[in-house]
Amino acid sequence: MTLQVSLTPEAEADVQEAHLWYSERGIGLAEDFRRSLDECFGRISSHPESYPVVHREVRRALLRRFPYCIFYVLEPERVVVIGCIHARRDPRAWRVRAAV
């Protein structure tokens, strides 16, 4: 089962913010971050139920190499990413989005 991955506007903003931060830090870091993110989205798309539920129906997947968590919910025909949050950020940053 492969599901489409959709991002909420807040999740898109999270990704853009992280990408910008890495692009300001070093050559190739932003591209590596994006590649890691795309790989994570691919794993989520292929095996959406293999990641743990961390709050209500929200699941969490971890990026490889980068300290970011992808928070998402399953819908019948797609995965909705509600946040791409740094692992050390306050959990309330994504929990308020869990009502999505």
Paired residues of 53 in beta bridges = 59
**pLDDT tens digits for range 60-87:** 999 999 999 999 999 999 999 999 999 8
The model carries a pTM of: 0.90
pLDDT tens digit string along 33-66?
999 999 999 999 999 999 999 988 999 999 999 9
In terms of residue numbers, what domain contains 67? 4-99
Number of compact structural domains in the chain: 1
CATH number of the domain within which 71 lies: 3.30.2310.20
- pLDDT for position 94: 66
C-alpha triplet 68, 84, 21: angle, nearest 5°: 70
The strand order across the sheet containing 58-62 reads 4-7, 78-86, 68-74, 58-62, 53-55
